Structure 1
Amino acid sequence: MDVIDDLNHWMMTEGRCANDPIKVVSHFCVTLNDAGVPLWRVNIGQRFANPLLIAWGLVWTPDGTESYDVTHARMLTDSYVGSAFEYILKNQRPLHKSLRGLDPEKDHVSYLEFAAAGGTDYYATLLDYGDRSQHGCTFATQSTNGFSPKHLEMIEAAKPGLASAMEPVTMRKSTKSLLRTYLGDGPSEAVWNGSIQRGERKTLEAVVLFSDLRGFTALTDGYGESEVFDALDCYFDVVVQSVEEMGGDVLKFMGDGILSIFPIQVTADRPHQCTQAALAARRVLVGLAALNDKRTKASKPPLDIGIGINVGQVSYGNIGSPGRLDFTVLGSAVNVASRIEVLTKSIGHRVLATKAIAETSPDLFKACGSHEVRGIAHSIDLFNLTEPDP
């Protein structure tokens, strides 16, 4: 099998260094096809070490290669339960199944769909990586004769090369995804690119949006743990989605507080980023209203929020001990955003902003007087965000 030897060599050299999973999978499938393995559809599934996504993968057909993601929730649905992927991981052996004469009452829906599309035969097998993780790949054909023992032998013989090329891609993708999940887009990129030394930081201008859940102490005292965590998750969903949709970056969850920033790369972007933060706050209020409608119907207490928005210079980087670092943003602009959020309850408006924010979007804000802010020697003018119509 010289062609398989050549394929494995390519995968272990050029493919391994390509950092391009589409190129790797496409080359793998086209080479096998040209060698006589009648491939019609190939799915290379890769497991993630991530609390939000459990897997990702690529689907190859003669028309092209596309990638996909799999959430943890999907693993509990019929799309996974009873599938070939579940079978090979559970039984630790390949699966070879004819797609002819299927039983709609017993066979998994994926087999039925492949058969309806002209599939005749199906093969699923495991990829083993150096960290002892296991990943799955499936092969389907439309050939009248299906897969022969020789075809399956060629697929198995080519797996070491495929694993060699895909493992570093999967490890990098998994690490970057994990960093983004816990640090957000900007910090994760900085850490990935090498900004990992203690005390290493950069200074930039940014809009800071600090949000806090009102009545959190009463919620924790009056309700069970599951109810509290459910409320927090729903609140976090509303804020994170709103901030990210408007181009911001969520940096931290601090109990029931959320710190987000809208970086200003050049001075000309300042008005735009201030407006984006204000619009994100509006989206939070709209999302919270929809969430509270659902909570009321479920006989759950409504949630309320306070938001402070400010703009200024911040320091962005690593702090901590030699053995434990935290990537965060610090500075007076952050402190002011946090402290004017505290004033939302006493002033009577859920979103307060400084003059520097309000003057960029005068149609979104109304003046609400000059107020003392803890830690600032003089009073500052504050503006409340006009709330959207219910």
Structure 2
Amino acid sequence: MTGNGHGASASRSYAASVTLVRRSRRYAEASPPSCFTDDIEDWLLTAALDQSDLLYLFEDFVWRLVDTGLPLDRASLHFGTLHPQLYGFGCNWELDDRFCDEIKVPQETLASDAYRKNPLCRVIEVGETVHARMSDAAAVARHPLLGDLAKAGFSDYFAMPLRTGSRYHNAITIATKRPGGFPPQAADAFIRTARIFALHVERHIAEKLAANVVTTYLGREAGERVLEGSIRRGDGLPLDAVIWVSDLRDFTDLTDRLPPEDVLRVLNAYFGVVVAAIAEAGGEVLKFMGDGLLAVFSFDHFASPQDAARTALEAAGAALRGVEALARDEIGAEATPLRSGIALHEGRVFFGNIGGADRLDFTVIGRAVNTASRIEGMTKPLGRPVLLSREMARLIDTPVDDLGAHRLRGVSDPVALYAPSGL
């Protein structure tokens, strides 16, 4: 299950900025396996190593704690990540509905009043352990969350950092409705097992960090291939796709007139619009080159080549509209009006590793990439924001204007160029 967590079920709700990634219902109707009564520390040191999904691992860990006699009614796991937009992830379990949710938390949450007054703030940012009973009026007054838990019938709340030497402050919380709270001996046992569990969390975080870093810098498909072990020079495969090459018009003038920090702001705003148009259409951005961008719409990801071509052309239109709105509403009058040139070409490329022995780049190369780049260079002299090759034009049923054949630098034969009639 995916989607925004707010109002996700009758019994659960999340802040508007928090997104529900997925929900495990594995034990919502069926009881956990009988093996959960096995020694929990032995499980953490053996079979738990085989679990590759942190949501399921946490869920199993909680149910095993329940089977040890710990009176759990609520538990949560919180772990950081390295991502330009996200602060971290969390897993939330409740006995009442027997669900276990995975959520993602954006960076702006850290500035919210709700977070600053949450006991987790001290746990995550300072590394403190927080143990509060709902009968403690001062603690409830300091932390609105405790007041909410008290109204729901909870009696005791415990939150501790999961220390492993990492720069990321991870945390785990438990809460109970048992009158009198957690028994002292049960809490001690929980702390001991949680310290072992912390090592598993760190292992999974390392894997998630690796995935976030490579997909952020390489793109989704290239990142997945690198994580699967495609890291040798020459590793790769041929790919049939629509190739997208675009750049920001008059970028040199922009850099001459604006200070570097403003140029960076304009570029980020521009790329934000163009990348969003490509990604929402199912394309894959492979490389940023100054003010330029290289992307592909792989035929493998679409119903047909015609579907890929139609979608890429629609994305080009969306990108141009977005850039126009950006120049009008956000960049400001001091900047040169933003315009973009986009070339779309169809062909076969090689998708793989190139570079030196210990410094590689995962990208696409081939004659089709070079042709697409040269076609993009013609958008300004021909005065059309989107140009299509003949191969691309054949795949779409949109009316096009025939602009004739043109000689392109580095391409032996003249290339027929077309432009969508509506652009």
State the TM-score, normalizing by the size of structure 1: 0.90
**Aligned amino acid, residue 80 of structure 1:** Y
Alignment of 1:47-126 (within 5 A): 47-62=80-95, 63-100=98-135, 107-126=142-161
Partner residue in 2 for 1:321? 356
Residue of structure 1 aligned with 2:202, choices 162, 167, 181: 167
Alignment of 1:75-224 (within 5 A): 75-100=110-135, 107-129=142-164, 131=166, 133-224=168-259
Conserved 8 A contact 2:37-2:67? no
Residue of structure 2 aligned with 1:6, choices 26, 39, 62: 39
Partner residue in 1 for 2:305? 270
Alignment of 1:210-249 (within 5 A): 210-249=245-284
Q: Which moved more, 1:37-46 or 1:114-123?
A: 114-123
**Aligned amino acid, residue 176 of structure 2:** T
Residue of structure 2 aligned with 1:360, choices 377, 391, 395: 395
Conserved 8 A contact 2:132-2:139? no
In 2: Cα distance, 1:341 partner to 1:5 partner: 64
**Deviation of 1:99 (Å):** 3.7
In 2: Cα distance, 1:104 partner to 1:137 partner: 19
Partner residue in 2 for 1:287? 322
In 2: Cα distance, 1:233 partner to 1:111 partner: 41
Q: Secondary structure at the match of 2:378?
A: helix
Residue of structure 2 aligned with 1:330, choices 361, 365, 369: 365
Change (3 A) 1:91 1:187: closer
Higher relative contact order (CA 8 A, sep 6+): 1
Conserved 8 A contact 2:239-2:348? yes
**Deviation of 1:80 (Å):** 3.0
Residue of structure 1 aligned with 2:75, choices 25, 42, 58: 42
**Aligned amino acid, residue 39 of structure 1:** L
Conserved 8 A contact 1:358-1:364? no
In 1: Cα distance, 2:336 partner to 2:222 partner: 35
Q: Secondary structure at the match of 1:275?
A: helix
In 1: Cα distance, 2:365 partner to 2:349 partner: 6
**Deviation of 1:350 (Å):** 0.9
In 2: Cα distance, 1:93 partner to 1:181 partner: 32
**Deviation of 1:334 (Å):** 0.8
**Deviation of 1:79 (Å):** 4.0
Structure 1 gap ranges (5+): none
Change (3 A) 1:268 1:26: closer
Q: Which moved more, 1:42-51 or 1:202-211?
A: 42-51
Identical aligned residues as a percent? 33
Partner residue in 2 for 1:259? 294
Change (3 A) 1:361 1:108: farther
Change (3 A) 1:73 1:386: farther
Q: Which moved more, 1:339-348 or 1:130-139?
A: 130-139
Change (3 A) 1:115 1:237: farther
CA displacement 1:236-260 (0-9 Å, x = unmatched): 1111111111111111111111111
In 2: Cα distance, 1:220 partner to 1:100 partner: 62
**Aligned amino acid, residue 161 of structure 2:** L
Alignment of 1:343-358 (within 5 A): 343-358=378-393
Residue of structure 1 aligned with 2:52, choices 19, 22, 25: 19
Q: Secondary structure at the match of 1:80?
A: helix
In 2: Cα distance, 1:265 partner to 1:23 partner: 31
**Aligned amino acid, residue 173 of structure 1:** K
**Deviation of 1:299 (Å):** 6.1
In 1: Cα distance, 2:260 partner to 2:37 partner: 56
In 2: Cα distance, 1:79 partner to 1:273 partner: 44
In 1: Cα distance, 2:241 partner to 2:414 partner: 22
Q: Secondary structure at the match of 2:328?
A: helix
**Deviation of 1:355 (Å):** 1.6
Q: Secondary structure at the match of 2:115?
A: coil
**Deviation of 1:234 (Å):** 1.3
Change (3 A) 1:312 1:140: same
In 1: Cα distance, 2:294 partner to 2:80 partner: 31
In 1: Cα distance, 2:384 partner to 2:134 partner: 63
In 2: Cα distance, 1:116 partner to 1:218 partner: 62
**Aligned amino acid, residue 362 of structure 2:** F
Conserved 8 A contact 1:120-1:141? yes
In 1: Cα distance, 2:223 partner to 2:189 partner: 40
Residue of structure 1 aligned with 2:345, choices 310, 327, 332: 310
**Deviation of 1:356 (Å):** 1.6
**Deviation of 1:302 (Å):** 3.4
**Aligned amino acid, residue 392 of structure 2:** I
Conserved 8 A contact 2:159-2:172? yes
In 2: Cα distance, 1:124 partner to 1:4 partner: 24
In 1: Cα distance, 2:133 partner to 2:102 partner: 26
**Deviation of 1:200 (Å):** 2.1
**Deviation of 1:12 (Å):** 2.1
In 2: Cα distance, 1:364 partner to 1:120 partner: 69
Conserved 8 A contact 1:24-1:166? no
Structure 2 gap ranges (5+): 1-35
**Aligned amino acid, residue 305 of structure 2:** R
Q: Between Structure 1 and Structure 2, how many residues are aligned? A: 386
